Amino acid sequence: MNQWQNFSKGFIKDNPVFVLFLGLCPTLAVTTSAYNGLGMGLATTFVLVMSNLVVSIIKNLIPGKVRIPTFIVVIASFVTMVEMLTEAFVPDLYEQLGIFIPLIVVNCLVLGRSEAFASKNNIFSSIIDGLGMGLGFAMALTVLGAVREVLGSGSLTLIPDVLEFTLYQGDGMLVFVLAPGAFLALGYLIMLADKVKKKMY
Amino acid sequence: MANKESTFTNMVLTLFLVTLAAATTLGFIYELTKEPIAEAKLRKKNIAIQKVVPDFTNEPNAEAYDVAVEGDTLTLYPARKDGKLVGTAVAAFTEKGYSGLIRVMVGFNANGTINNISVLQHQETPGLGDKIEKGKSDWSRQFNGKNPEDFQLQVRKDGGDVDAITAATISSRAYCDAVEKAYKAFQKGGLQ
């Protein structure tokens, strides 16, 4: 597998959300708007790249039986770091994402990539894998957030006050902003992604 | 994979070293970010105070004092302009929200009318209860300029004067509860 395939597999072929069904907890909880989805996706990407990097560096030093606890410690450290750094230096972003950042620890996508990829591959491939998977995750969350926001609140927010559109006035279909709407929208998006995937591969 | 053997000593040693490295790094980052975080929080509080009371020239944060109301302790921030009290910001909270805690900053003018209210923290349902936020809807503006003396801080369903948010009566009720608490604290110790 060349590096381009390694990178691009996260978008459609092995998309974490639409194909692998990894990290569904933050996916369903956070995507009430496109901006929230994007922010969560990018924060996850950072943690994913850093933890993949560290795991692939230390992979030969870790006894097999304690590898999962070790990975969790590495991931949790990076998440805590991200949380403290955003709170200190970009408080506005922290305000928006604050409650979601700790959720990254329980995102099985991050642990899944450490276990399935970074612990078996070299450093460079692991970084590329983390980047591709992370951006694929971010894409999926942004699309899901956009669908729910457009149908539920009648607006589309990519960056508040900069890229913000109001599509129609009024309340929209509120169910899409609530939890059941996340499942509905995700179901249809998975069907679409499956169609696209079958066409491409 | 050329993994190390999973002997007891190996496992204990690895976990110890990994957690030690993690703890050291985090401790270092904590030290590094402690002051900026405190500063950011203080700035946020100052901005919240500025938003809810009339223009002032003192430092309300430095003059803050606590008032006990119904078993809770609320913090009051007196705002003075050229030494004269122009208003008081009250940091109030309620746990009756649809998803728990709601924290608000309520600004009173010196004569007891509500100048402005801003929500500091909440977890209400997006699209429904989160309309208590200024940015999401105009709902909370109905409180501005009202004096709780002759403005019942309860939703109409409960016999008060507040129009509830459609489909979010519980959030509206909780918001009123927090403002009511702030008013009680203000009555008790706000005119110092």
Contact at CB, B22 and A74, closer than 8 angstroms: yes
Mean pLDDT is lowest, of A138-152, A169-183, B5-19, for: A169-183
- List the domain boundaries for chain B: 51-189
In whole angstroms, give the CA distance from residue B129 to residue B111: 30
Residue the block writes with tokens 């977890």: B123
| Chain A with chain B: Cβ pairs closer than 8 A | 89
pLDDT tens track for A88-143: 887 777 876 766 788 888 888 888 888 888 888 888 889 988 899 999 999 999 99
SS (H, E, C) B156-177: HHHCCCECCCCCCHHHHHHHHH
Give yes or no for a contact between A118 and A59, defined as CB atoms under 8 angstroms apart. yes
pLDDT tens track for B123-146: 887 777 888 887 777 888 888 888
Checking if the pLDDT of B7 tops 90, the result is no
**CA distances (Å), origin A47, targets A98, A107, A131:** 15, 11, 10
Sheet with B72-81, strands from edge to edge, namely B65-69, B72-81, B84-97, B100-109, B114-121
Question: pTM of this prediction?
Answer: 0.75
Q: Who wins on pLDDT, A117 or A167? A: A117
When pLDDT is cut at 50, 70 and 90, the band that residue B31 belongs to is: very high
For residue B106, the Cα-to-chain-centroid distance in whole angstroms is 9
Mean pLDDT is lowest, of A2-6, B9-13, B16-20, B165-169, for: A2-6
pLDDT of residue B1: 43
Q: Which of A30, A35, A61, A157 to mutate to test the interface with B (most CBs of B within 10 A)?
A: A61
pLDDT of residue A170: 67
ipTM metric: 0.73
Two tokens at A148? 């729910």
Give yes or no for a contact between B169 and B139, defined as CB atoms under 8 angstroms apart. no
Q: What is the mean pLDDT of chain B?
A: 84
Q: Is B124 left (phi over 0), alpha (psi -120 to 50) or beta?
A: beta
Nearest CA in chain A to B17: A70
Greatest C-alpha distance within chain B: 77
pLDDT of residue A43: 86
Average pLDDT of span B43-70? 81
Residue the block writes with tokens 């349902």: B125
Name the residue among B14, B29, B36 with its Cβ closest to that of A63.
B14
Buried b / exposed e across B101-132, counting CB within 10 Å, b at 16+?
ebbbbbbbbbeebbbbbbbeebebbbbbbbbb
Least Cα separation, residue B104 to chain A (angstroms): 15
Classify strands B84-97 and B72-81 as parallel, antiparallel or unpaired: antiparallel
Q: What is the mean pLDDT of chain A?
A: 84
Checking if the pLDDT of B28 tops 80, the result is yes
Classify strands B72-81 and B100-109 as parallel, antiparallel or unpaired: unpaired
- List the domain boundaries for chain A: 3-12+24-200
Least Cα separation, residue A201 to chain B (angstroms): 31
Kindly list the residues from chain A whose CB atom is less than 8 angstroms away from the CB atom of residue B127: 32, 152-153, 171-172, 174, 177-178
Give yes or no for a contact between B77 and B63, defined as CB atoms under 8 angstroms apart. yes
